[in-house]
Amino acid sequence: MGLRCGIVGLPNVGKSTLFNALSNAKAESANYPFCTIEPNVGVVTVPDARLQVLEEIVNPERVVPTIVEFVDIAGLVKGASKGEGLGNKFLANIREVDAIIHVVRCFDDPNIVHVAGGVDPVFDKDVIDTELQLKDLESIDKKLQKSERSAKSGDAVAKKEVAALQRFKAHLEAGNNARSLDASEEELAAVEDLQLLTIKPVIYAANVDEASIPAGGNKYVDALRTHIANENAQVVVISAAIESQIAEMDDPEEKAMFLGEYGLTESGLDKLIRASYDILNLITYFTAGVKEVRAWTIHRGDKAPAAAGVIHSDFEKGFIRAEVIKLDDYVQYRSEAKIKEAGKMAVEGKEYVVQDGDIMHFRFNV
User: Which tens digits make up the pLDDT trace of 161-219?
Assistant: 999 999 999 999 999 999 999 999 999 999 999 999 999 999 999 999 999 999 999 99
d(CA 185, CA 180): 14
Flag whether pLDDT at 97 surpasses 70. Answer: yes
pLDDT confidence of 64, banded at 50, 70, 90? very high
CATH superfamily of the domain spanning 3-46+66-119+200-279? P-loop containing nucleotide triphosphate hydrolases (3.40.50.300)
311 vs 43, residue with greater confidence: 311
Q: Please return the burial class of 86, using the count of CB atoms within 10 Å of its CB with bins 0-12, 13-18 and 19+.
A: middle
Query: Bridge partners of 155?
Result: none
Res. 78 pLDDT band, cuts 50 70 90 = low
Return binding residues for ATP: 12-17
C-alpha to C-alpha distance for 151 and 154, rounded to whole angstroms:
5
Residue 109: its pLDDT value, please?
A: 87
pLDDT above 80: residue 74: no
| pTM (two decimals) | 0.86
- DSSP H stretches of helix in the chain: 15-23, 49-58, 87-95, 121-152, 156-173, 185-191, 219-227, 240-246, 252-260, 268-279, 304-311, 313-317, 327-333, 336-341
User: Model confidence over 295-305: pLDDT tens digits?
Assistant: 999 999 999 99
| Of residues 305 and 132, more confidently modeled | 305
Residue 295 dihedral angles phi and psi, to the nearest 5°: -100, 140
Residue 284: per-residue pLDDT: 97
Virtual CA dihedral for 130, 134, 136, 140, nearest 10 degrees? 150
pLDDT category at 115 given cuts 50, 70, 90 is low
- 8 Å CB contact between 211 and 157: no
pLDDT confidence band for 9 (50 / 70 / 90): confident
Question: Which residues belong to CATH 1.10.150.300 in the chain?
Answer: 130-198
Q: Provide the 3-class DSSP secondary structure of residue 102.
A: strand
Residues of the chain with CATH 3.40.50.300: 3-46+66-119+200-279
Q: Could you tell me the fold of the domain covering 130-198?
A: DNA polymerase; domain 1 (1.10.150)
- What mean pLDDT comes out for the span 59-75? 89
The span from the CA of 317 to the CA of 314, in Å, is: 5
> Looking at the predicted structure, is the pLDDT value of residue 30 above 80?
no
pLDDT at 26 over 60: no
Mean pLDDT to the nearest integer, 106-134: 86
Q: In degrees rounded to 5, what are phi and psi of residue 117?
A: 85, -5
Domain 301-364 sits in CATH at: 3.10.20.30
Residues shown for the chain: 366
Distance of alpha carbon 329 from alpha carbon 322, whole angstroms: 17
Average pLDDT of every residue of the chain: 89
Give ranges for CATH 3.10.20.30 in the chain: 301-364
Q: Does position 25 have pLDDT exceeding 70, yes or no?
A: no
In the predicted structure, residue 226 carries a pLDDT above the cut 50 = yes
With cut-offs at 50, 70 and 90, classify the pLDDT of residue 16: confident
User: Around Cβ 107, how many Cβ atoms within 10 Å?
Assistant: 22
Q: CB atoms < 10 A from the CB of 313, how many?
A: 11
Q: Which residues are annotated as a binding site?
A: 12-17
Judging by beta carbons within 10 Å of its beta carbon (0-12, 13-18, 19+), is residue 114 exposed, middle or buried?
middle
Q: What are phi and psi of 300, to 5 degrees?
A: -60, 130
Of 261 and 230, the structure prediction assigns the larger pLDDT to 261
Q: Predicted confidence band at 31 (pLDDT cuts at 50, 70, 90)?
A: very low
Q: Which pLDDT tens digit goes with each residue over 280-297?
A: 999 999 999 999 999 999
Residue 121: predicted pLDDT: 94
Q: Let me know the angle formed at the C-alpha of 275 by 54 and 289, rounded to the nearest 5 degrees.
A: 15
> What would the mean pLDDT of 253-265 be, rounded to a whole number?
93
What is the reported pLDDT for 231? 86
User: What confidence score (pLDDT) does residue 175 get?
Assistant: 94
Q: Is the pLDDT of residue 138 over 60?
A: yes
